[in-house]
Chains A and B, each alone.
Chain A
Amino acid sequence: MSGPDTTTAPRPSLAAYAEVVGEAVIRQLERLAEPLQGKRIVHVNSTRAGGGVAEILAKMVPLMQELGMDASWEVIEGNPDFFQCTKSFHNALQGDPVDIPDRLLRVYEEVNQQNAAVLRDKLADADFVMIHDPQPAPLLHFVGQRKGKWIWRCHIDASRPQRSVWRYVRKWVVDYDASVFSLADFTQALPHPQYVIPPSIDPLSDKNRDLTPQEVAAVFSRFGLDPDRPLILQVSRYDRFKDPVGVIQAFRMARRYVPGLQLVLAGGGATDDPEGEAVLAEVHAAANGDPDIHVLVLPPDAHVTINALQRAADIVLQKSLKEGFGLTVSEAMWKEKPVIGGNVGGIRLQVIDYQTGFLVNSPEGAALRIRYLLQKPEKRAKIGERAREYVRENFLLTRHLREYMTMMLGVYHDGQPRIVLG
C-alpha cells in the first residue's frame, strides 16, 4: 500500500524512551538487566504480523537486545487446519462453546512436533523460553531436554474457558516453570507460579508516535471522511468477540441524536486467524451500504494510518464482548481520546469508568455514551488528558519490560519472595 505507512520511524533506542518516561525508568531497566546480560531469551509465537502479540514482540525483543540480553523471536509454521484448530482454542478459552474434532487436535500436535524439530537446538539451549498463547504450547513437550526456564504467556481472556478445551490445553502447559496472564481474573489452576502482567503499547512506534496535523488530516480525504462532522472509530481485527456489529448498532442509535455522525471500523486479519473473512462479511451485511459507515480492511503494517485515524476520531470504541487486554484501548488513551469500552476483561483495567472513559454493557450503553461525550467537548478533553497520564504510568512498553525482567529473575530464583541483587 502506498501512502503514509511507507514512512517508518527509525527503531527507537532506550534513550528515546527516556524522553517519554523519564531517565529514572531507563536506569531502572539497566540495573535490572545486569544479571540477565548475555542470557539467551527466545520468544515464540505463531505470527510475525497482525494482532497485539506480534506488535509487542517486534518492540520488546530489540529493547531486550539493547539491554544486553541475547533475545530473539521465532515464529512457528502452521497450515490452515492448524490455525483452524488454534482459533477454536482461542474462542473456547474465551468461553464460546466449540467442538474441536480429534482430527484437528492431531494436526495441532503434528505441527508442533514438526516445529520442535526445527527449533530444538535453539530452544533447548536457551536460558529462558517464552511461549506465547496456545499455538506453540506443546513445544515444551516435543523439544524434550532443556536447559533453561520455560514460561507460557497467555494473552487470552481465559476467565471462563470451555472446560473441555482448557483441560486439553492445560496438559501442554502444566509442565512449564511459570505462566503469565494479563489479569488475575484470567488465571487458572496450575501447579506453577502464575504471574500477572498486563501488556503494553509502545509510545514511539508508528502506531503511537506523534503525527503532524497534515498526517492526521490526510486520512479524511483518503477514506472519504468529512472533517467537519463527528467521527467515532473502532480499530480491531474482524472478530466476533470485538463485536463490530454491536458497534454498528450503537452508531445507528446514536446517529438519531447526532446527525452527520460517521463511523469507521478499521481492521485487518492476522495470519493465524482464519475467521476474519466470515466476520467481515457479517459486518458488510450489517453496514448495508450506509455511506457513513466506513469498513476498512488495512494491511498489518498500516500503523501510521491507524495512528492517524485514532487521532482524527472524536471518540474511540472498543466494544468487545471478551478481551484479553485490548491494546487499542491504551493506544487511543495515549492519544488523549475518551474510550467507550466493553465492560470485560482487560478493558476494565484501562478504562476507569467516568475517569479515563466509559465502560458499557450493550449497544444501547455505547450509544448513550457516544451521545453524552459528543455533547460535552470539555469532558472529552478532560477524560482524554487523564487517560494519557494513566497510560504513561501503567501501560507503556517500559513497564512491561521491567515486569518481564523481574519475572525472569523471579523464576530463575525459584520464586523467592525477595531477591536482592548485587
Chain B
Amino acid sequence: MQPTDLTVPAAAQREAFRIKDCSLVTIATGRHAQNLRELRDHLAAVDAMVVYSHFWLGRLQPRYDEMEYVNDFAAWAFRALHDYVLGERLAMVDPSEFDDLDELRQEVLDLVEERLDEREMVPWARPGQRFDFLRAQMVVFDTYQRISRPEELPAAVLRFSPGSLFYHLIDARRRRPDGLDDLRAWLVAWGLGDSPLVQELAGVDWHFLSLTELRERVAAICAADLGGGQG
C-alpha cells in the first residue's frame, strides 16, 4: 500500500494528541454464579459498570488464550457450562452496538433467558469454575507525551503502553458520544475523517486482538497510510 497523500493543516492550527494511560484494578462484587439461573439473577441486579467490566476488561487481565470468546459471559458458557450454543450466541454480542450498558445487559439477559427456556436442565459449572461478578476501578493519567502531527502516529503507537491502547482505542468507544476511538476522533479533527486511514482504522475488529496485536495492527495501518515510522 502506498502512503496516502495527506493534505493536513499546519500543526499550530491543530491540537496535539495527548497520550493518556490508565491502570485498572479489579474489585469483586461478592456475587457469583454456579449455574446459568444464578448468572441471570445476578446479572439483572448488578451495577451497570459490572457489565462493562465483563465485556471490556478481559484484555487487561492475565490470560493466555486467544481472544476467541470476546466477553467473559461467552467464555464462561463455553468453558465452565460447556453450553456451546449459548457461548456462540453470547460471543456474537457486540457491545458497541448498544447505546448504554443497560441495553447491553438486557441483550445478554434475553439470550440467557432464551437458553434457559430451551434447555430441560439448568447447566452448572463445576466447583472452582464459578462466575465471579467483578467490576473495575480505573485511574486515568497523562503520560505528558504528545503526538503533534498525524505523521508521527506510526512510531508513537508502537510506544503505547497496554493501558494507553486500552484507553484510547477500546474504552474511548464507550466513553465518547460519537462512538469513535480517540485516534480516529483526532484524525477527524485534522480534517482526515474521509481518509482511507480513518476508514481502515474503523475496520479493525479489536474484539479478536490482544493489545499487542492491536498495537501492531494500528501502527502498521498508520505506517502504510502515512509512511515510515515503524521504529
Contact = CB atoms under 8 A, between A and B. Distances in A.
B159 to A, nearest CB: 7
Nearest to B49: A417
A184 B32 CA distance: 9
Nearest to B142: A422
Given A187-B30, A356-B64, A27 B143 contact: yes
Contacts of B25: 195-197, 403, 406-407, 410
B138 interface: yes
B62 interface: yes
Contacts of A407: 25, 137
A24 B161 contact: yes
B27 A355 contact: no
B28 A421 contact: no
A187 B132 contact: yes
A419 B22 CA distance: 9
Interface in A301-352: 348-349, 352
Nearest to B140: A420
A25 interface: yes
Contact of B159 (A24, A355, A410, A422): A24
A394 interface: yes
Nearest to A184: B132
Interface string A223-254: 00000000000000000000000000000000
Interface string A403-417: 101110110000111
Interface in A267-322: none
A421 B140 contact: yes
Interface residues of B, number: 30
B23 A402 contact: yes
B137 A422 contact: no
A406 B137 contact: yes
A410 B137 contact: yes
Interface in A380-406: 386, 390, 393-395, 402-403, 405-406
A25 B161 contact: yes
B229 interface: no
B28 A187 contact: yes
B10 to A, nearest CB: 28
Nearest to A405: B23
Contacts of A406: 23-25, 137, 139
Interface in A168-199: 181, 184-185, 187-190, 193-198
Contacts of A189: 30
Q: Is the interface of B mostly helix, strand, loop or mixed?
A: strand
B148 interface: no
Contacts of B141: 31-32, 34, 420-422
Interface in B144-177: 144, 159, 161, 163
Contacts of A185: 128, 130, 132
Most buried by B among A195, A415, A417: A417
Given A184-B132, A194-B28, A196-B27, A28 B64 contact: no
Contacts of A103: none
Interface string B175-197: 00000000000000000000000
A189 B132 CA distance: 13
B219 interface: no
A418 interface: yes
A179 B22 CA distance: 22
B26 interface: yes
A3 B164 CA distance: 46
B145 to A, nearest CB: 9
Interface in B1-41: 21, 23-28, 30, 32
Nearest to A407: B25
B136 interface: yes
A421 B139 contact: yes
Contacts of B207: none
Contact of B163 (A28, A394, A419): A28
A197 B137 CA distance: 12
Interface in B117-131: 128, 130
Contacts of A418: 137-138, 140
Most buried by A among B65, B139, B141: B139
Nearest to A418: B138
A403 B163 CA distance: 12
Contacts of B143: 27-28, 31
Contacts of A386: 64
A190 B29 CA distance: 10
A198 B144 CA distance: 29
23 contacts: A24-B161, A28-B23, A28-B163, A31-B144, A184-B32, A184-B132, A185-B128, A190-B30, A193-B27, A194-B27, A195-B26, A195-B27, A198-B62, A355-B64, A356-B64, A402-B23, A406-B25, A406-B137, A407-B25, A415-B27, A418-B138, A420-B140, A422-B141
Interface of B: 21, 23-28, 30, 32, 49, 62, 64-65, 128, 130, 132, 134-144, 159, 161, 163
Given A352-B65, A402-B23, A410-B137, 16 more contacts: A159-B128, A184-B26, A184-B134, A194-B30, A195-B25, A195-B28, A196-B26, A196-B28, A198-B62, A386-B64, A393-B62, A407-B25, A415-B137, A417-B137, A419-B138, A421-B140
Query: 8 tightest A-B contacts by CB?
Result: A184-B132, A394-B62, A187-B28, A410-B137, A421-B141, A352-B64, A406-B25, A196-B26
